[in-house]
Amino acid sequence: MQIELVKSFRFEAAHLLPTFPEGHKCRRLHGHSFRVDVHVRGDLPPDQGYLVDYGAIKSAFAPLRERLDHRYLNDIPGLENPTAENLAVWIWNELKPALPLLAAITVHETCTSQCIYRGP
């Protein structure tokens, strides 16, 4: 039986998007209250009754949150152009070694705008 779990995290960060046209609001320095949903998926072990301990997801994400929270994202190596798309891919690449069952990363940049990355 396939199960998918989702654990959500929040962080505050500033960025600007250098590839946007001059004069575009996203080209100016601004911040967001980001929400990241970490999805893991796999077969439910019948003898265990759970797929992954939510605490393990939290522990795996904690070092990333420390690197992202209250930071200027453009200064983080690999995030020089920190679009929601690039941020989702960056989080995936950083998190996948610690979470082999990682299935998707959803980055909510605002309450109404999100990006979902399901891996390469």
* Angle, alpha carbons 53-91-36 (nearest 5°): 65
**Cβ neighbours, 10 Å, residue 118:** 13
C-alpha–C-alpha distance, residues 103 and 111, integer Å: 22
From the list 14, 8, 10, 63, the residue with the least C-alpha distance to 37 is 8
* Catalytic annotation, residues: 26, 70, 109
**Cβ atoms of 107 and 118 closer than 8 Å:** no
